[in-house]
Structure 1
Amino acid sequence: MEHLLNPHVREIEISGIRKFSNMVAGIEDMVSFTIGQPDFKTPEHVKQAGIRAIEENKTTYTHNAGDLALRKAAAQFVKTKYNLSYKPETEVIVTIGASEAIDITLRTVLTPGSEVILPGPVYPGYEPAIRLLGAVPVHVDTRANRFKLTADLIRQAITAKTKCIILPYPSNPTGVTLEKAELQEIADLLRGRDIFILADEIYSELTYNLQHVSIASFLPEQTIVINGVSKSHSMTGWRIGFVFAPEWLTKHILKVHQYNVSCAPSISQMAALEALTAGIDDAHAMKKEYEKRRDYVCRRLDEIGIGYVKPDGAFYVFAKVPEALKRSSFDFALDLAKQQKVAVVPGSAFSKYGEGWFRMSYACSMDQLEKGLARMEKFVANLS
């Protein structure tokens, strides 16, 4: 009876990241640079807040939009950090991670046939969500522009069907981000057009050498900001994300959220409240360590002779498959895993514009980085 299923569901595939990670999972002595999972523990004071929530029986439904104290803390967090102003009562929704936030936003603003502009290469989670709605993802080739989706590139891609533009910066998989002047140009281009901006800013607290700027500071009336505590506080399993948007829009997104999940887990909400108040700067120590690892990885890739674009944030390096090896990104990653037990993600997992590259996460210990890069160096030397 498989032919009776929704064709949009039948046509999408499992994420290329997970697909490759699952292929190499369980192999003894594998050094994995695949999943974007912080290797730090959730801060102890945040864990204790979760424990207290259980002990105090805070285990019931919350308001559909989330506990008001948490919404107030989230609004204050983005005000303090990024100078964004949202009313906690009506312009903030607590979601089950940034993934649900993205999904309910797209389900609210898209209709069948709508076009969504997004950079290529890009995190593979957006395209299936778009296609499930009968909408059309339009990947823009950013390879010649340091993987940045600029106003000029957007201008060339806009059509009468364009309904939304996704700005996922700092970027997964490339680690690059957009600077203030670049965001201003995009805002000037889109101001007054019937086009939404979905700004996925889940890595906003992990930027190096520059302060994160949100396009919502220039164009709040058309922007939906997605954020959460997964990366900033190493809380991926707690599943807490946020939607920030104008009240007229949030009230409709909330309807989709309500019928989808009712509310985010109450215990996780209490832990997130602690993270965004007492732990407002918890990301600083993690960011410092990530920056140290980034610099090490870049230095070693230079020594090995592998090209890359230096990341501005997040915890990924997007590196070039050496042309001399004459391999696709998938074959490169598969051979590297089989021959040297090092797992990276093929660039093809991030759209066709990622072909010829591979993503390497440095959200792991220095020992693992040293071991894995030594093996990678041996692999490249043997094949060259």
Structure 2
Amino acid sequence: MLSHWITPKVRNIPPSGIRAFFELSSGNQDVISLGVGEPDFVTPEHIRKACIEALNQGATSYTSNAGLPELREEIASYLQKNFHLRYDPASDVLVTVGSSEALDLALRAFTAPGDEILLPSPSYIAYSPIVSLNGGTVVEIETRAEEGFKLTAESLRQAITPRSKLLMLNYPNNPTGAIMTVEDWQPIADIVKENNLLVISDEVYAELTYDSKHVSIASLPGMQDRTIVLSGFSKAFAMTGWRIGYACGHRDLLAAMLKIHQYTAMCAPVLGQIAALESLRHGLESVNEMREAYRKRRELVVTGFRSIGIPCHVPEGAFYAFPSIAHTGLDSETFAHQLLKESGVATVPGHVFGSGGEGHIRCSYSVSTDKLTQALERMGRFMKVKI
């Protein structure tokens, strides 16, 4: 046995619940997977061509640790124009290996043993393990479907203790599709400032909102300097495999993250950075087209779930539905396993997203309309047997 060489904190972290169900369904041609949150669109052709041309011209070297200067300038311009955030591209923007590395850098830079990290639940499955790897303690704040899965001021205030250091946010939310408005954010921002908290705001789905425009908590008065905004190109730009993300924030905080980045990744892949640059300069029309496709799929999924007796909150962002299966009497793990085994539809049990996710399943509608229709038909037959 070689496990004695593995540190306890790594040994005790469970494997990804999303990937577990992905592995169960992979290789089976009859399974319809609604499990993995990856766009079914290919990166637009003009972006691929720009990278082919750059590769032919010899773009194979390192870039600046912080990323291509022209890409950082485009990111800063894009955030100012679309989300009213002002950053100096020379010091306040860091290009990373996907938004996942940006998240890792932020939590490593700002989490110390004993720190409490406030985390609305349900939430993306990577947050809690990364906090644990850095010795921090996650304090879950459960959100509820009847409140749109929004973080409320009352629940945040109740969770704060003298050890609270950081509030981790993800809106638009994975897995619920919830969003927050200016009115929602204002009391949260007031509490954050009163308690001198730092905020890490994962906004990788910012471009994918359907009924109102995304609002960053960093855009509220007094919040930009105490907020690290994370985002990337994987979801809205259909660029998952390019692995380009970014972090923006006050230069002193970004400098701490940059030190870790320099000693680990060194820099993000140059061709991925070139692709991201092209997408910001000429790819926003494609983003709009993909968002409209997701909007239609959202309506299909929500209507479909409700028609077969599965209550479903209307997701206002991202590309996930988070329907309730509590009325079946099955926990989310059992429901997802039986659905996969008996009907050939792969979903993700809600409990993997935290205690607030139990009683739900996550279903991605980043797959074709035909597959969604087939999945709903299979789930309808499944529900007739279970109810």
Structures share a fold, TM > 0.5?
A: yes
Measure, in 1, the Cα distance between the counterparts of 2:303 and 2:312: 11
2:224 counterpart letter in structure 1: P
Partner in structure 1 of residue 356 of structure 2? 353
Contact 1:232 1:282 in 2 (8 A): no
2:138 counterpart letter in structure 1: P
Contact 1:306 1:322 in 2 (8 A): no
- In structure 2, the residue corresponding to 1:308 is in which secondary structure? coil
CA displacement at 1:153 relative to structure 2: 1.3
2:360 counterpart letter in structure 1: W
Partner in structure 1 of residue 186 of structure 2? 184
| Equivalent of residue 260 in structure 2, options 223, 239, 256 | 256
Partner in structure 1 of residue 229 of structure 2? 225
CA displacement at 1:383 relative to structure 2: 2.0
Partner in structure 2 of residue 145 of structure 1? 147
Partner in structure 1 of residue 332 of structure 2? 329
CA displacement at 1:145 relative to structure 2: 3.0
Contact 1:110 1:135 in 2 (8 A): yes
Partner in structure 1 of residue 39 of structure 2? 38
- In structure 1, the residue corresponding to 2:87 is in which secondary structure? coil
Measure, in 2, the Cα distance between the counterparts of 1:145 and 1:163: 26
Measure, in 2, the Cα distance between the counterparts of 1:320 and 1:260: 41
CA displacement at 1:25 relative to structure 2: 1.5
Structure 1 window deviating more from structure 2 (242-251 vs 276-285): it is 276-285
- In structure 2, the residue corresponding to 1:159 is in which secondary structure? coil
Partner in structure 1 of residue 20 of structure 2? 19
CA displacement at 1:28 relative to structure 2: 2.9
- 2:276 matches 1:276: no
Partner in structure 1 of residue 92 of structure 2? 91
The unaligned stretches of length 5 or more in structure 2 are none
Contact 2:142 2:355 in 1 (8 A): no
- In structure 1, the residue corresponding to 2:341 is in which secondary structure? helix
1:96 counterpart letter in structure 2: V
CA displacement at 1:346 relative to structure 2: 0.6
- 2:198 matches 1:196: yes
- Relative distance call for 1:192 and 1:88 in structure 2 (3 A) is farther
- 2:59 matches 1:58: yes
CA displacement at 1:260 relative to structure 2: 1.2
CA displacement at 1:283 relative to structure 2: 1.2
Contact 1:168 1:199 in 2 (8 A): yes
Contact 1:120 1:353 in 2 (8 A): yes
Partner in structure 2 of residue 124 of structure 1? 125
1:284 counterpart letter in structure 2: N
Q: What's the TM-score once normalised by structure 1's chain length? A: 0.98
2:70 counterpart letter in structure 1: A
- In structure 1, the residue corresponding to 2:322 is in which secondary structure? strand
CA displacement at 1:327 relative to structure 2: 1.2
The unaligned stretches of length 5 or more in structure 1 are none
Give the percent of matched residue pairs that are identical in Structure 1 and Structure 2: 43
Aligned length: 383
CA displacement at 1:192 relative to structure 2: 5.3
Contact 1:86 1:245 in 2 (8 A): yes
| Equivalent of residue 374 in structure 1, options 355, 374, 377 | 377
1:139 counterpart letter in structure 2: E
Measure, in 1, the Cα distance between the counterparts of 2:308 and 2:117: 38
When the two chains are superposed, the root-mean-square deviation of aligned CA atoms in Å is: 1.1
Q: What's the TM-score once normalised by structure 2's chain length? A: 0.97
1:359 counterpart letter in structure 2: R
Measure, in 1, the Cα distance between the counterparts of 2:152 and 2:51: 41
CA displacement at 1:238 relative to structure 2: 0.2
Measure, in 2, the Cα distance between the counterparts of 1:342 and 1:184: 40
Residues 320-362 of structure 1: per-residue CA shift (max 9 Å, x gap): 1152x32111111111111110111111111122111100000
- 2:308 matches 1:304: yes
Measure, in 2, the Cα distance between the counterparts of 1:344 and 1:74: 34
Contact 1:113 1:136 in 2 (8 A): yes
- In structure 2, the residue corresponding to 1:191 is in which secondary structure? helix
- 2:367 matches 1:364: yes
Structure 1 window deviating more from structure 2 (326-335 vs 20-29): it is 20-29
Measure, in 1, the Cα distance between the counterparts of 2:55 and 2:380: 49
Contact 1:95 1:240 in 2 (8 A): yes
Measure, in 2, the Cα distance between the counterparts of 1:228 and 1:305: 36
Measure, in 1, the Cα distance between the counterparts of 2:370 and 2:84: 38
- In structure 1, the residue corresponding to 2:131 is in which secondary structure? helix
Measure, in 2, the Cα distance between the counterparts of 1:161 and 1:322: 34
Measure, in 2, the Cα distance between the counterparts of 1:183 and 1:282: 30
Contact 1:216 1:223 in 2 (8 A): yes
Measure, in 1, the Cα distance between the counterparts of 2:266 and 2:186: 36
Contact 2:312 2:324 in 1 (8 A): yes
2:350 counterpart letter in structure 1: G
Measure, in 2, the Cα distance between the counterparts of 1:24 and 1:2: 28
1:353 counterpart letter in structure 2: G
Partner in structure 2 of residue 238 of structure 1? 242
Contact 1:77 1:280 in 2 (8 A): no
CA displacement at 1:297 relative to structure 2: 0.7
Partner in structure 1 of residue 115 of structure 2? 114
Contact 1:50 1:270 in 2 (8 A): yes
Q: Would you identify which runs of 4 or more consecutive aligned residues in structure 1 move more than 3 Å?
A: none
- In structure 2, the residue corresponding to 1:66 is in which secondary structure? coil
Contact 2:176 2:315 in 1 (8 A): yes
Partner in structure 2 of residue 343 of structure 1? 346
Measure, in 1, the Cα distance between the counterparts of 2:154 and 2:147: 11
Residues 279-327 of structure 1: per-residue CA shift (max 9 Å, x gap): 134311011010000001111111101011110010000011152x321
- In structure 1, the residue corresponding to 2:199 is in which secondary structure? strand
Contact 2:298 2:365 in 1 (8 A): yes
Measure, in 1, the Cα distance between the counterparts of 2:205 and 2:325: 25
